[in-house]
C-alpha cells in the first residue's frame, strides 16, 4: 500500500488546496471598501447596491411565512410553488412568450445562478468567453468550476461601447463551451440589441455553444419596461441559460435569491444539482420574493427612475468637466462608467478621489483590460447624496 505520499503537510499554508482555488484573484471591490473603513464621511458608490431598505410588503411576506411556521424543507428543490408559478407568470407577461413553470429554477442568489449554470455545462478545461468590461466575479466563477475564462472586449469607439459580433463569433473554437453575455452590462451599461441577440442565438443553434445571458439588470433599462432579452426569442430547446436576481430591481441584495431560466429538458438535472449544492433556498425568503414579483411593479419603476435620475445627474455634473471622458449615457443598469483624461491608472484615480473627495468608486481594471482607465459609479442612490458626491469629485478635479 505505500505510496510515498506526495502531498504530506509542508510549510506552504495553502498546500493541499486546488490550484484553481489557490489562483483565484484576491483583489476585488470588497477589499477596497474594507481598506477604507477607517475613513469617515465616505459616500459609498463602489458596490452594486442601492440604498433602499427592502420595502415593507416584501419583508412582511417573509415575516408572515415565519409566523406561519414555514421553517421546514421546501419539498421541491427547484422552488416554492408560489414562487415558481409567479416566475412563470412574470416572465410570460414580461417577454410576451410562454415560459412555463418547469423552465425556472430558484437559486440562493443571482451569483449562485451563475455557478449553477456553469456547473451544468462547464467541464475541466472548457473555455467560456465572457464579454469585458465584466463584473470580476464572473471570471472567478468560471475558474472556480475548472473552466478557462477567455475575455472578449467590447470596443470603446466613437464615444460608446460596441460589440464586434463577427470577431466574437470568429474567436470561438471547438473548445468554447459558452459565451457569457451581460446585458445590460455591469459596469459599462452596454445593452445587446434584439439583432445582436438574434445573431448570437442563431450562432448558438449552429455551433451548440451555450449562451449565458446575464439579465440581472434587465428591468433597469431606460428605453422600455425590459431590455432586449434572449428569453423573448429563444425556444425551449435552445441552449440559453438566463441568469436573474432579485437583488437589484427589487432592492433585495441581502436576501440572496435569484433564478435561472433554462430549457425544460434540464429541469431534472438542475433539481438534482440544487439538492447536492445547497438543497434549495429558504421558504420564507422565497415567500418574500413571490411578493416582490406579484406586487413589485411600482417598486421596479421607482428603482429604475432612481437610476435614471442618478445617471442624468452624473452626466449633468461630471460629463461637462474638461478632465472627464464620458461615452454615451448607459442604456441600462445601475452604473455610470467614465475615465479621467490623462490618467491611465484607475486604481490611483480611485484612491485619489477616495482620499480627497471621500467618494468611493470602483476602479475599472477590476473589470478587465478593456476598461482599466475607467471608474465605476453606482447611481442607484438618493439623488441628494449623489449630487453631493459629484460636487465633491468635481471640486477635487478642478483643484
Residues 206-265 that bind a copy of itself (CB under 8 A): 206-210, 237, 239, 251-256, 263, 265
Q: How many CB atoms lie within 10 A of CB 140?
A: 15
- In the sheet with 362-363, reading across from the earlier edge strand, the strands are 324-326, 335-340, 374-378, 362-363
Q: Which of residues 323-382 bind a copy of itself (CB under 8 A)?
A: none
Residues 84-103 that bind a copy of itself (CB under 8 A): none
Among 41, 158, 159, 170, binds a copy of itself (CB under 8 A): 170
Stretch that binds a copy of itself, among 83-91, 217-225, 273-281, 336-344 (CB under 8 A): 273-281
**Which is nearer to a copy of itself, 13 or 159 (by Cβ)?**
13
Is residue 38 a contact residue for a copy of itself (CB under 8 A)?
no
Nearer of residues 115 and 397 to a copy of itself, judged by Cβ: 115
The strand pair at 362-363 and 374-378 is best described as antiparallel
Among 32, 83, 99, 122, binds a copy of itself (CB under 8 A): 122
For 325, the grid coordinates are: 471622458
278 is a contact residue toward a copy of itself (CB under 8 A) = yes
Least Cα distance to 188 among 291, 332, 21 occurs for: 332
Total residues interacting with a copy of itself, rule: CB under 8 A: 95
* Shortest distance (Å) from residue 283 CB to a copy of itself: 5
| Residue 234 contacts residue 192 (beta carbons within 8 Å) | no
> Rounded to whole angstroms, what are the CA distances from 184 to 131, 134, 283, 341, 349?
12, 11, 30, 26, 25
φ/ψ of 131, rounded to 5, equals -80, 125
Task: Pick between residue 144 and residue 233 the one whose CB is nearest to a copy of itself.
Answer: 144
Shortest distance, position 180 Cβ to a copy of itself, whole Å: 13
- In the block, residue with C-alpha cell 412555463: 100
Binding test (CB under 8 A) with a copy of itself, winner from 38, 40, 124, 384: 124
- Taking CB under 8 A as the binding criterion, the range among 63-71, 293-301, 358-366, 372-380 that sits at the site for a copy of itself is 63-71
Residue 158 engages a copy of itself in binding (rule: CB under 8 A): no
Q: CB under 8 Å to 286, separation ≥6 — which residues?
A: 74, 79, 80, 82, 83, 106, 257
Amino acid at each position: 500500500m505505500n505510496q510515498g505520499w506526495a502531498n504530506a503537510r509542508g510549510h506552504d499554508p495553502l498546500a493541499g488546496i486546488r490550484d484553481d482555488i489557490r489562483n483565484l484573484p484576491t483583489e476585488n471591490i470588497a477589499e477596497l471598501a474594507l481598506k477604507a473603513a477607517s475613513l469617515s464621511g465616505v459616500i459609498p458608490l463602489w458596490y452594486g447596491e442601492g440604498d433602499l431598505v427592502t420595502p415593507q410588503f416584501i419583508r412582511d411576506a417573509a415575516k408572515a411565512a415565519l409566523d406561519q411556521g414555514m421553517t421546514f424543507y421546501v419539498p421541491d428543490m427547484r422552488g416554492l410553488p408560489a414562487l415558481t408559478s409567479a416566475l412563470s407568470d412574470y416572465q410570460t407577461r414580461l417577454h410576451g412568450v410562454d415560459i412555463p413553470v418547469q423552465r425556472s429554477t430558484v437559486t440562493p442568489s443571482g451569483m449562485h445562478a451563475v455557478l449553477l449554470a456553469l456547473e451544468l455545462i462547464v467541464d475541466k478545461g472548457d473555455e467560456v468567453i465572457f464579454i469585458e468590461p465584466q463584473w470580476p466575479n464572473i471570471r472567478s466563477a468560471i475558474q472556480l468550476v475548472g473552466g478557462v475564462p477567455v475575455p472578449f472586449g467590447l470596443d470603446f469607439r466613437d464615444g460608446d461601447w460596441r460589440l464586434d459580433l463577427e470577431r466574437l463569433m470568429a474567436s470561438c473554437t471547438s473548445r468554447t463551451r459558452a459565451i457569457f453575455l451581460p446585458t445590460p452590462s455591469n459596469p459599462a451599461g452596454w445593452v445587446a440589441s434584439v439583432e445582436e441577440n438574434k445573431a448570437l442565438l442563431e450562432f448558438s443553434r449552429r455551433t451548440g455553444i451555450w449562451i449565458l445571458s446575464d439579465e440581472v439588470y434587465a428591468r433597469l433599462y431606460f428605453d422600455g419596461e425590459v431590455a432586449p432579452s434572449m428569453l423573448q426569442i429563444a425556444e425551449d430547446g435552445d441552449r440559453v441559460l438566463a441568469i436573474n436576481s432579485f437583488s437589484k430591481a427589487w432592492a433585495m441584495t441581502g436576501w440572496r435569491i435569484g433564478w435561472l431560466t433554462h430549457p425544460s429538458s434540464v429541469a431534472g438535472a438542475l433539481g438534482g444539482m440544487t439538492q447536492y449544492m445547497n438543497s434549495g433556498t429558504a421558504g420564507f425568503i422565497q415567500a418574500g420574493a413571490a411578493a416582490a414579483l406579484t406586487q413589485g411593479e411600482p417598486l421596479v419603476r421607482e428603482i429604475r427612475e432612481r437610476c435614471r435620475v442618478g445617471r442624468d445627474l452624473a452626466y449633468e455634473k461630471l460629463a461637462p468637466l474638461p478632465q472627464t471622458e464620458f461615452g454615451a449615457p448607459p442604456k441600462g443598469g445601475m452604473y455610470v462608467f467614465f475615465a479621467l483624461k490623462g490618467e491611465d491608472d484607475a486604481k490611483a484615480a480611485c484612491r485619489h478621489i477616495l482620499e480627497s473627495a471621500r467618494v468611493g468608486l470602483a476602479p475599472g481594471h477590476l473589470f478587465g483590460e478593456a476598461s482599466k482607465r475607467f471608474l465605476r459609479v453606482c447611481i442607484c442612490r438618493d439623488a441628494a447624496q449623489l449630487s453631493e458626491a459629484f460636487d465633491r469629485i468635481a471640486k477635487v478635479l478642478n483643484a
